[in-house]
């Protein structure tokens, strides 16, 4: 078995063919694709000179595994662009043995900790790491993701578990914005609406719907590149020929999508109407799986009633002090969440 760290852009590009083969032959999310990771590094993470590329490549005859990682300014080993990724994972064509990879990292990299976040229970990495008895390892649930399966038919009547009040909320949103023009943008027929996206971003920041660092110019470059590669479609609502809502949707398969980033003007139920129109359009002719991504937000539970599953974070510290500090921090965080839940 050979384990190495790819730490330069030329080495990154050389991995492209193997990466695409591993990605193609397994059921990974687009966040594990070569394009997503390459453009994330090129446009976002490489802009901070203290970030160091550190893609772990494992080769054992015909077996291969790639960990798309980098080392941040705090000397933490993390997944590339993890902050904007709903699901993190390694990609491999075999069941990995993380213990051997851990030993390589421990002996060869100068880091303070390994931090793997947004791991599904079904991910190959989580399966390998969750029960390993490693010194100074912590594992905790950090969030949830959700999804909705539809059968061919008219949305929302084609969702078997929907109750009358859930159907009513969808119908209300669609009716409220029925005079707006709905469209789906594809790279093959529509140019990327960068000016409109920037304008909606400004509106949302001005209204304090989003923080000032929402959707940086480099992040928009990444989205544009993915759009050109046909990895993204855009769900659009227009009013008097002006775009008033854009949902940036990752295309996982022909009938499988992930609702990723939302932009909209300050109109009642506008975002819900845009989502609903997209589901309605696609489910007329196809069975559909919609992934709503990370977070148990009110608009998801109250309007779409999706199925929720857990996301986890695994940290492996390289000294006792940081390990104890992490445990205390996690305990305090859980207490704060509990208090917040009781109050609100």
Domains of the chain and any CATH numbers: 2-142+310-343 (3.40.630), 152-286 (3.40.630.30)
Backbone angles phi, psi at 180, to 5 degrees: -85, 150
> Which pLDDT belongs to residue 259?
97
16-24 vs 34-43: helix axis angle to the nearest 10?
130
Local confidence band at 327 (pLDDT 50, 70, 90 cut-offs): confident
* Tens of pLDDT, residues 156-214: 999 999 999 899 999 999 999 999 999 999 999 999 999 999 999 999 999 999 999 99
Cβ contact 79:69 at 8 Å: yes
| pLDDT confidence of residue 15 | 97
C-alpha to C-alpha distance for 36 and 154, rounded to whole angstroms: 33
Q: For residue 291, is pLDDT > 90?
A: yes
Cα–Cα distance, 99 to 103 (Å, whole number): 6
pLDDT given at position 344: 56
**Distance separating alpha carbons of residues 15 and 59, to the nearest angstrom:** 12
| Mean pLDDT within 140-155 | 95
Q: What are phi and psi of 158, to 5 degrees?
A: -90, 10
pTM for this model (two decimals): 0.90
Residue-averaged pLDDT of the chain: 93
> Among 340, 312, 16, 4, which Cα is nearest to 145's?
312
């Amino acid at each position: 078995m050979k384990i190495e760290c790819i730490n330069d852009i030329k080495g990154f590009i050389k991995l492209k063919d193997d990466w695409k083969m591993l990605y193609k032959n397994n059921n990974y999310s687009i966040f594990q694709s070569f394009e997503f990771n390459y453009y994330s590094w090129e446009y976002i993470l490489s802009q901070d000179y203290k970030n160091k590329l550190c893609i772990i490549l494992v080769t054992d005859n015909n077996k291969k595994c790639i960990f798309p990682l980098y080392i941040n300014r705090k000397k933490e080993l993390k997944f590339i662009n993890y902050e904007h990724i709903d699901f993190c994972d390694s990609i491999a064509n075999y069941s990995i043995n993380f213990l051997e990879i851990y030993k390589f990292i421990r002996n060869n990299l100068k880091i303070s900790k390994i931090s793997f976040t947004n791991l599904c229970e079904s991910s190959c990495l989580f399966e390998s790491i969750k029960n390993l008895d490693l010194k100074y390892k912590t594992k905790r649930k950090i969030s949830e993701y959700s999804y909705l399966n539809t059968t061919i038919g008219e949305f929302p009547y084609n969702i078997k578990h929907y109750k009358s009040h859930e159907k009513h909320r969808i119908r209300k949103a669609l009716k409220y914005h029925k005079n707006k023009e709905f469209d789906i943008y594809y790279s093959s027929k529509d140019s990327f609406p960068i000016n409109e996206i920037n304008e909606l971003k400004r509106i949302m920041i001005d209204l304090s719907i989003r923080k000032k660092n929402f959707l940086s110019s480099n992040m928009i470059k990444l989205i544009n590149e993915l759009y050109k590669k046909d990895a993204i479609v855009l769900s659009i609502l227009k009013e008097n020929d002006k775009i008033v809502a854009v949902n940036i949707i990752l295309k996982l398969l022909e009938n499988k999508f992930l609702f990723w980033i939302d932009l909209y003007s300050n109109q009642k139920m506008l975002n819900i109407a845009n989502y609903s129109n997209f589901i309605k359009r696609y489910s007329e002719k196809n069975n559909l799986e919609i992934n709503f991504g990370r977070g148990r937000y009110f608009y998801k539970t109250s309007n779409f009633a999706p199925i929720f599953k857990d996301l986890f974070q695994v940290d492996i510290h390289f000294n006792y002090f940081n390990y104890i500090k992490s445990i205390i921090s996690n305990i305090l965080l859980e207490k704060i969440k509990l208090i917040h839940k009781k109050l609100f």
